[in-house]
Structure 1
């Protein structure tokens, strides 16, 4: 565990205690650049695919990415929004720790980062390391390797980002989540390009139901994996 992040790992967040770790963690990690440019990626997906024989590799890669994002995004985003901690997230400075099934188990960071001083002016400054130094090159590499649309992977990441903001709002009603919501609700990045995390989720009215239904905008193609069906939030179901 990273001591600076200890205040986060309480209640429902306790299971993230050993997800972001420092170089002294004894578990074997693989540099992320190496993982994405070698047979490590194929090996991880092969181990994961053993539970779903004869499945479409694109579907498998999408589901695998969900495990990756649910490990990475909640502690990283919470550390930034709640503790104002900037973590070193570049692929060049991270190692990925896998479990026996080829799934992401933890991330070994080069150091514990530092407090944001001064506080970032906007969401794009706050989350630049996450978007530009990590998610962007990671998603590009994974999409290229498996010939999968990057939109599917960005949607997977955005789905967990949006979900986390709801969790934090409920657990910490007075927390300032402005930058998190801003990131998901601005169509264009500062350079004028499309924001790949723009509104990954929508809430729609369903006849006969009082509560709005949470629905992803882009399908995660989970149905392409043998034994799995559309997820509860699928726009195709």
Structure 2
């Protein structure tokens, strides 16, 4: 394992950590994330912050995958796949390497499947800024939230007709799951990103509180519905606030992207 960084002025090569992270519950992420500095296939994630470009992509996806369903629900579902395959690898890498979460959407390319559903991400810039050992989760994620998540959520909300809160809460659910399932001993804990009501600058934290207060994990529900219940062939998530179910122990892949697919669906 490469040595941990000790200075914020350092740039750390994240590709040195790639082979050590994706095993156990996170093993399938190895097929969803790669480094390739010369990659030109796919779509630059920065292009998706253009609401017009994102709208065309979401319309194509809805037409191919859910032609008879609510377009808003299709957009929310697409976002779950995007966030579910993007956030966990970046958090794992940042935690292991002691860096900021990589933030530049122009250096990440999205590859789609035949239905225009997110399939994998290719990172064309392997380096990230080192952080001091005492840096908090918000300091490590501030650039990612400002440069990637916030513009993307704005773009989603501007063209999908879905509240920005839905997308923020989907990101929060994935962050929460990443901490609970993927981050083992020795990894930095990003849990506070979803537990603190306010950001360090005093502004409201858009990732706060993805779940309603509950006496146990088995009876909890999402605070804001992801709307996937409107989609044909897609089961409600186990934490659906409209139809609470006993979710029991957290599952690996369904919990990752907030979906419980039928066996014929394509998450592997």
For Structure 1 versus Structure 2, the TM-score category normalised by the shorter chain is 0.7 to 0.9
Name 2:194's counterpart in structure 1: 184
Indicate which of 236, 241, 244 corresponds to 1:230: 236
Under a length normalisation based on structure 2, what TM-score does the superposition of the two structures give?
0.75
The answer on 1:159 being equivalent to 2:173 is: yes
Alignment of 1:108-187 (within 5 A): 108-114=122-128, 116-119=130-133, 121-168=135-182, 172=184, 174-178=185-189, 180-187=190-197
The answer on 1:31 being equivalent to 2:41 is: no
Looking at structure 2, the residues matched to 155 and 199 of structure 1 have their Cα atoms a distance apart, in angstroms, of: 8
- 1:168-217 Cα shifts (integer Å, max 9, x gaps): 35xx2x33544x122111111122221011121246248xxxx6323211
The answer on 1:47 being equivalent to 2:58 is: no
Checking the alignment, whether the CA contact within 8 Å between 1:79 and 1:86 is kept in structure 2 is no
- 1:77-135 Cα shifts (integer Å, max 9, x gaps): 11122332445322233322212221112223232123624235211111112211111
The answer on 1:196 being equivalent to 2:202 is: no
Name 1:68's counterpart in structure 2: 82
Unpaired runs of 5+ in structure 2?
1-13, 244-268
* Alpha-carbon spacing, 1:43–1:136, altered in 2? closer, same or farther (3 Å): closer
Looking at structure 1, the residues matched to 163 and 138 of structure 2 have their Cα atoms a distance apart, in angstroms, of: 24
Q: Residue 121 of structure 2 aligns to a residue in which SS?
A: strand
Alignment of 1:79-118 (within 5 A): 79-114=93-128, 116-118=130-132
Name 2:27's counterpart in structure 1: 14
Indicate which of 205, 220, 224 corresponds to 2:226: 220
Looking at structure 1, the residues matched to 101 and 218 of structure 2 have their Cα atoms a distance apart, in angstroms, of: 35
1:229 CA displacement = 5.0
Under a length normalisation based on structure 1, what TM-score does the superposition of the two structures give?
0.84
Looking at structure 2, the residues matched to 30 and 22 of structure 1 have their Cα atoms a distance apart, in angstroms, of: 14
Looking at structure 2, the residues matched to 186 and 144 of structure 1 have their Cα atoms a distance apart, in angstroms, of: 26
Unpaired runs of 5+ in structure 1?
none
Q: Residue 148 of structure 1 aligns to a residue in which SS?
A: coil
Looking at structure 1, the residues matched to 205 and 57 of structure 2 have their Cα atoms a distance apart, in angstroms, of: 32
* Alpha-carbon spacing, 1:98–1:20, altered in 2? closer, same or farther (3 Å): same
Checking the alignment, whether the CA contact within 8 Å between 2:55 and 2:159 is kept in structure 1 is no
Looking at structure 1, the residues matched to 115 and 224 of structure 2 have their Cα atoms a distance apart, in angstroms, of: 27
* Alpha-carbon spacing, 1:228–1:14, altered in 2? closer, same or farther (3 Å): closer
Give me the CA root mean square deviation: 2.5
